[in-house]
Amino acid sequence: MEPYIADLLGISAPPDLPFGELWLGTHHAARALVRAKGARLTLDELIRRHPEQVLGKRTLAAGFDDLPFLLKILASGQPLSIQAHPDKALAGELHARDPKNYPDANHKPEIAIALTPFAALCGFRPAPAIRADLHRHAELAPLLAGLPDNGDWLRAAYRRLFTVDEAQVRAAGTALATKLAKHDERTPEDACFLRLWNHFPEDRGTFSAFFLNVLDLQPGEALFQAPNEPHAYLEGVAVECMANSNNVVRAGCTGKFIDRDVLLAMLTYREGAPDIMRGEALPHGRSYIPPVPEFAIELLDLPAGQPVELASDGLISILLVLAGTCTLQPAGQASLTARRGSSWLWPAALPSATLVCQSETGRVVRARPNL
């Protein structure tokens, strides 16, 4: 079975080559190419040549002179890093100080909409629940001994995990993993820790399984990640959309650059389960509207042969076909046909279009500014 993204694009994945992310946007790390009238140019170059026609007056008036969002498909077969994304002020500081590891000066709020069952860690659990789990496992006691019993316990405990001696991490994690492997009945936090430890043995980030909310999203459910909130995506396929940034501050469970001091200082340490977004009903699908101006997402399910009228509202859109073969009929122009895995740029100057799935039920993702 091909990886999801390779299958979506209709290509064969070379052995041992990960197909983890598909990007559609103008970020300099992977600029999208636009094909129009036989010519090919990068999307950012097209915007520079025709800013008002492509982005639209409203987008420009909101202060965006480039595509404000980055649309992705994320396909994770194993856990990804413990991480958070900086707000704008911190992003500017990090980029100025370390442009190699922080490649732009923008913040990175993001949404992940599950296309398959999707597992994640997100946000801190209530401190009493964390403490109860930690006390349940005597193996963890040496890591957290002597912490203040006050309102700052969560901050102090999470910092301790990322600063304690490596030998203590190795001893505590090995002992706990050995114990848990012998028991079939495990809490979600126990199972998550064991899963992380098996992928990243001796990594202190694995203990985040007891600190962060363990979530299992069903298709159509979504998580919004505000800046400075800890999270990790564990497994599954999702549509991601975010501000036009690739800034990630990592603390563990990765072979990539780790910046623990920055991450520990930036986190909000807000406690409680995150809101699960299920979207607002549309005539043919659902819309996901986060509390940021850069992006909103529509997940459109199209009955075969039934025309669906869409409007641009004077905003740029990117559409990606996830299922079926679809036709886009702009008003007064020739129709465009795209199979699964194809994407369209819908410029703001085009006021309306009709979308039709030809021979089977289709699914299309549409991303545009949230203005």
Nearest partner of 248 among 83, 363, 5, judged by Cα: 83
Domain boundary among 211, 229, 245: 211
pTM: 0.96
Q: Does 248 share its domain with 103?
A: yes
Q: Is residue 269 part of a domain?
A: no
Mean pLDDT of 31-42: 89
Mean pLDDT of 59-82: 96
Chain-centre distance for alpha carbon 71: 9
Q: Does 80 share its domain with 40?
A: yes
Q: Does 47 share its domain with 113?
A: yes
Mean pLDDT of 14-24: 87
Q: How far apart are CA 196 and CA 161, in angstroms?
A: 15
The pLDDT assigned to 19 comes to 85
Q: Is the pLDDT at 335 greater than 90, yes or no?
A: no
User: Over the range 230-258, which residues count as b (16 or more CB within 10 Å of their CB) and which as e?
Assistant: bbbbbbbbbbbbbbbbbbbbbbbbbeeeb
Q: Which CATH number covers residue 349?
A: 2.60.120.10
The pLDDT assigned to 201 comes to 96
Confidence band of 311 (pLDDT split at 50, 70, 90): very high
The pLDDT assigned to 154 comes to 95
Q: Is residue 78 part of a domain?
A: yes
Q: Considering the chain, what is the average pLDDT of its residues? A: 94
Distances (CA, A) of 51 to 61, 121, 295: 11, 39, 18
Mean pLDDT of 285-292: 97
Q: Is residue 91 part of a domain?
A: yes
Q: How far apart are CA 309 and CA 18, in angstroms?
A: 37
Q: Does 39 share its domain with 180?
A: no
Mean pLDDT of 158-166: 94
CB atoms within 10 A of CB 348: 24
Q: Does 10 share its domain with 82?
A: yes
Q: Is residue 283 part of a domain?
A: no
Q: Is residue 280 part of a domain?
A: no
Which residues of 62-168 form beta strands (DSSP E)? 69-76, 82-84, 110-114, 118-124
Domain that holds residue 148: 127-211
Confidence band of 266 (pLDDT split at 50, 70, 90): very high
Q: Does 23 share its domain with 112?
A: yes
The pLDDT assigned to 15 comes to 79
Phi, psi of 69 (to 5 degrees): -130, 165
Confidence band of 33 (pLDDT split at 50, 70, 90): very high
Partners of residue 120 on adjacent β-strands: 215, 233
Q: Does 160 share its domain with 46?
A: no
Q: Does 132 share its domain with 118?
A: no
Q: How far apart are CA 320 and CA 57, in angstroms?
A: 24
Q: Does 232 share its domain with 93?
A: yes
Q: Does 246 share its domain with 338?
A: no
Q: Is residue 238 part of a domain?
A: yes
CA geometry: angle 77, 81, 87, nearest 5 deg: 130
Tell me how many domains the chain contains: 3
Domain boundary among 192, 211, 230: 211
Confidence band of 1 (pLDDT split at 50, 70, 90): low
- Which residues are marked as active site? 250
Phi, psi of 153 (to 5 degrees): -60, -45
Q: How far apart are CA 249 and CA 245, in angstroms?
A: 12
Per-residue pLDDT reduced to its tens digit, 345-367: 999 999 999 999 987 789 999 99
Q: Does 293 share its domain with 362?
A: yes
Nearest partner of 341 among 14, 4, 76, 44, judged by Cα: 4
Q: Is residue 354 part of a domain?
A: yes
Q: Does 182 share its domain with 134?
A: yes
End-to-end CA distance of the chain: 40
Per-residue pLDDT reduced to its tens digit, 174-197: 999 999 999 888 999 999 999 999
Q: Is residue 197 part of a domain?
A: yes
Burial of 196 (0-12, 13-18, 19+ CB in 10 A): buried
